[in-house]
Amino acid sequence: MAAPSFTPLVTVVLLVVLFGAGAAAYPGFLSLQVVLNLLIDNAFLLVLAIGMSFVILSGGIDLSVGSVLALTTMISAALLRAGYAPVVVIVAVLALGALFGAAQGALIHYFKLQAFIVTLAGMFLARGLCYLISIESITIDNPLFVAMSQTQLPFFGGFLSPGAMIALVLLAIAIYVCHCTPFGRAVYAIGGNEQSAHMMGLAVGRTRVAIYALSGFCAALGGVLFAFYMLSGYGLHAQGTELDAIAAVVIGGTLLAGGYGYVAGALSGVLILGVIQTLIAFDGTLSSWWTKIVIGGLLFVFCVVQRLLSFSAKK
């Protein structure tokens, strides 16, 4: 299936064009710190997109990640307010996120349920649990979280936040796991043809549960990074972020049908979303809703192009 490799190339070209347009229209747009700020502001989205990449590569979908992110901020804020150590809180919410995802994966595989329905239910469940904790925003003033929010790490003449560095490290690990391990090869095999994966003797059930556990873990880690960024827990955090993560993965060149794509494409997809937001912010005259309009148009175009290239590849 060589033809769909065209879509990751288009993503990179589009990213270059957007940066070029921004540099031509706004002085200073191509400064190093503006670029690094894209990573700082979208670190949590990159982490969500990494987990979503594995899910979509396997032919699935996970609509619960935005709600799990919000729930993670709420649990973290509540536990910190109750006096628990921040390290204990972080480990606990990461474990809960992974267990939540694994439970969804088990329901999808062993009960033969549609991933869309199961994760939609998970989305409502996680969002509802937020409001059982509190209907109000909970401020986080723990010294570790505040330090993580304010720290600036030197990076090639600019600076990155600890959250952005964590996201980049996770991306590097995910690329290795996806392309250089048996687990990664099993993910591609399941997404390409589940029946063939069964016939090859792959542990399809165990792999699918692990995929959704990884997505849940990434959603919880994204929640931790979002808590660093916002210093609060709130049930309304990250509404619609699951759709942004899906958009970033698809724009990054991963086929929605599964079986083809690159985890690294999540970075280019997230950067494109970030550049669009930045261009609109630099303009100053356009409504922020234009971000959603442009992203929706791009997503539509990429889905159509992927489908047409898939048809041509089969011929």
- The domain spans of the chain are 43-269
Around 46, how many Cα atoms within 13 Å sit in the side-chain half-sphere?
26
CA dihedral 220, 49, 112, 92 (to 10 degrees): -10
Q: Phi and psi for 219 in degrees, rounded to 5?
A: -65, -40
User: Which residue blocks in the chain are alpha helix, DSSP H?
Assistant: 6-25, 32-41, 43-57, 65-81, 86-110, 115-133, 143-150, 162-180, 182-192, 194-199, 204-230, 241-251, 265-283, 289-314
Dihedral-angle region of residue 260 (phi above 0 means left; psi in -120 to 50 means alpha; beta otherwise): beta
pLDDT on residue 276:
92
pLDDT on residue 2:
43
State pLDDT tens for residues 108-144: 999 999 999 999 999 999 999 999 999 999 999 999 9
pLDDT on residue 282:
81
State pLDDT tens for residues 209-249: 999 999 999 999 999 999 999 999 999 999 999 999 999 99
Alpha carbon of 237 to those of 50, 61, 206, 234: distances in Å?
19, 21, 32, 5
pTM, entire model: 0.95
At residue 27 the predicted structure's pLDDT band, cuts being 50, 70 and 90, is: confident
Q: Which residue has the higher pLDDT, 286 or 129?
A: 129
Q: Using the structure block, give the residue that is written with the tokens 């229209």.
A: 25
At residue 312 the predicted structure's pLDDT band, cuts being 50, 70 and 90, is: low
pLDDT on residue 3:
47
Q: Using the structure block, give the residue that is written with the tokens 């990434």.
A: 218
Task: Find the mean pLDDT for residues 153-176.
Answer: 96
- Which range (8-17, 57-66, 170-179, 206-215) has the least confidence? 8-17
State pLDDT tens for residues 43-102: 999 999 999 999 999 999 999 999 999 999 999 999 999 999 999 999 999 999 999 999
